[in-house]
Structure 1
Amino acid sequence: MFSWLARAFSACLRPVRQYARMSKDDNDDGSDSPSTVDDALVWFRDLEKHSGGEFSFAVVQANEVLEDHSQVETGSDGVFVGVYDGHGGPEASRFINDHLFRHLMRIAQEKGSMSEDIIKNAVSATEDGFLTLVRRSYGIKPLIAAMGSCCLFGVIWKGTLYVANLGDSRAVIGSVRRSNKIIAEQLNREHNASKEEVRRELRALHPEDSEIVVMKQGTWRIKGIIQVSRSIGDAYLKRPEFSFDPSFPRFHLPDPIRRPVLTAEPSICSRVLQPNDKFIIFASDGLWDHLTNQEAAEIVHNNPRTGIARRLLKAALNEAARKGKRTYKELQKVKKGMRRCFHDDITVIVVFIDHELLGKRNVPVPQVSIKGFIDTVGPSQFRSFQEME
């Protein structure tokens, strides 16, 4: 394992041209126009409609296999946005992409409403479903027990915004204040051991474990392994029957866990949208590694809606290139897998709020499901909400 890490680190230091995609379509002119983002690893939908406004969607792949999955679901009374940042492989994030929204629709229709409890139950059903899959697959594919995903999603339903989060993705709302100044407000708490409050919480929950969080390779990690304290999956840190033996050194714990080290309990907030609330940015941590909340909000506020998610991607990639002592053009040519030396997979979804449309009936908006990067479009189950009164 250590020799593999050494080779990977060495490869990151080699000239980027050794990994260049030999094509001539990198026509970046140095401007901030999203049209100049010409990158084989970027997927986007520049502007689409939802019942209360519009949205822009973009994804860039960095890993050999994309671990970010994402979706937007539009309906006559609302919109659903999901960003699922996987780790250890794409299986958990893909599972959430396929099941979370369905659970939410099923439970909401049974209850005839939307609420924080309904959202919590949908997350719980998704976690239970994935752990069942782990249990069935563990004998032939043991590493599935080390696969997990952060999970950030939001629902705008009849003028109320609900945001739920597990992990370190982030939702930021942009609101206009005096003199047309945009103010960025982070809506969710991040569950990452780099945060002092998260370390305090973990130590309080596990007073008997002096190594519940340890500094490793310059980063605070739970049990020296993982940074996020809440996730879907990561069964080996939640159920003792999925613990790894020493033949899996990366995931092996010296002592079996007595109770879950990670949880699937989401943090949830809700707010009635006000006229000065203009947009929400949902993004995986790959974006926030390079942009502050305020920087991202100002980019959205000061530029056209069309292509705004791509514009945010480009701003983050420009910063990643600068930190890596590369030009933006050089970074564009780096292949997947090697791109991870410079930045993470990044998903960005910007949802604009047009208050004159909120709550209106008979708004001609397609009821569609869009899955990011894999680029599948189909009818959305959001239409079942029409029956909820």
Structure 2
Amino acid sequence: SRDGYEASDSSDGAHNFVAGVLDGHGVAGAKVSSFVCAKISSEMKAKSKSSGRISAATVASNLTDAFAAAQKSLLRAHGADCAESGSTCVVCVREGDNLIVANVGDSRCVLGRRSNTKAHSYVAVDLSVDHKPDRPDEASRIARAGGVVEPARGLHGYAGPARVWRRIPRAGGLAVSRAFGDSQLHSAGVVAIPEIKTLGVTPNDAFVVLASDGVWDHVSSAEA
């Protein structure tokens, strides 16, 4: 399996919980997801021990720093393996009455909220937005970086999902616009900078679901 996950409860009161899911791709995808998972986990644990109870804004900043540290360490330790391999990642932290979610790629976090109108049912609230190459803001960012967004070229024209390509020399074909690793596409705009979303928890908020596209390609957020 190229997937990885991490879940932990805080014993010192700094975080209520931290959970994450990663989805590796490419020949070294399993190595990448495992390395990134361990690095982000160690970074967040170190920051929580040194900070005690912290604000949601600080958690968001810590997540951004942890993602950056993981990418830097990955390329330094396994750069040769990461040219055409990488991983997505989504991390959810509960800090007090807040959920803070950071994501890179198309692994997703969904909140299950009890319905106010129908007993024993839940409403799905997406806490992350997938980084797909044809997402308008991501496509614009890729274009500004010099990359190309288009489907793979098949025998009968274009087919399949939009992908990120390096223009010259032509290379890539990544189906997400942000990922750890995938160093050959850095010049095309593929980055490991997370998007962060913070949500205040309400009494109706019951659970979160974190999963990779292996789930979301077949099950909608509402169905999950």
Normalising to structure 1: TM-score of the pair?
0.49
The one of 249, 273, 276 equivalent to 2:204 is 276
Map of 2:59 onto structure 1? 115
The answer as to whether partners of 2:91 and 2:101 remain within 8 angstroms in 1 is yes
Which ranges in structure 2 are unaligned for 5 or more consecutive residues?
A: 153-158, 166-171
- SS where residue 222 of structure 2 aligns? helix
What does 1:148-167 align with in structure 2 at a 5 Å threshold? 148-167=86-105
Instruction: Give the Cα separation in 2 of the matches to 1:264 and 1:102.
Output: 18
1:27-66 map, 5 Å? 66=1
Give 2:77's aligned residue. 133
Q: Deviations over 1:344-363 (max 9, x none)?
A: xxxxxxxxxxxxxxxxxxxx
2:164 is equivalent to residue 222 of structure 1: yes
Aligned match of 1:50: none
Query: Whose relative contact order is higher, 1 or 2, with alpha carbons under 8 Å and at least 6 apart?
Result: 1
Aligned with 2:173: secondary structure? coil
- The residue that corresponds to 2:221 in the other structure is 293
Measure, in 2, the Cα distance between the counterparts of 1:219 and 1:145.
Answer: 21
For residue 46 of structure 1, what is the aligned residue in structure 2? none
Look up the match of 1:63: none
Whole-Å Cα distance in 2 between the matches of residues 201 and 130 of structure 1?
Answer: 24
- Paired residues, number: 201
Using the size of structure 2 for normalisation, the TM-score is 0.82
Cα distance change on mapping 1:293 and 1:98 into 2, 3 Å: same
RMSD, matched Cα: 1.8
Matched residue SS, 1:295: coil
1:87–1:149 Cα contact (<8 Å) kept: yes
CA displacement at 1:219 relative to structure 2: 2.1
Q: Give identity over the alignment, percent.
A: 29
1:202 maps to what in 2?
Answer: 142
1:164-313 superposed matches below 5 A? 164-176=102-114, 177-180=116-119, 181-203=121-143, 205-206=144-145, 209=146, 212-216=148-152, 217-223=159-165, 225-238=173-186, 259=187, 261-296=189-224
**Secondary structure of the structure 2 residue equivalent to 1:86:** strand
For residues 11-43 of structure 1, the C-alpha deviation after alignment (integer angstroms, 9 at most, x for no partner) is: xxxxxxxxxxxxxxxxxxxxxxxxxxxxxxxxx
* d(CA) in 1 for partners of 2:104, 2:122: 27
Structure 1 contact 91–147 (Cα < 8 Å) conserved: no
Runs of 4+ in 1 over 4 A off after TM superposition: none
Instruction: Note the alpha carbon deviations across 1:52-83, whole angstroms, 9 max, x for none.
Output: xxxxxxxxxxxxxx100112112233111110
Q: Which consecutive unaligned segments of at least 5 residues does structure 1 have?
A: 1-65, 239-258, 297-389
Q: How far does the alpha carbon of each residue in 1:252-302 deviate from its partner, in whole angstroms, 9 at most, with x for none?
A: xxxxxxx45211110011122100111111111111111111111xxxxxx
Report the CA distance between 1:218 and its aligned residue: 2.3
Report the 3-state secondary structure (helix = DSSP H, G, I; strand = E; otherwise coil) of the residue aligned with 1:282: strand
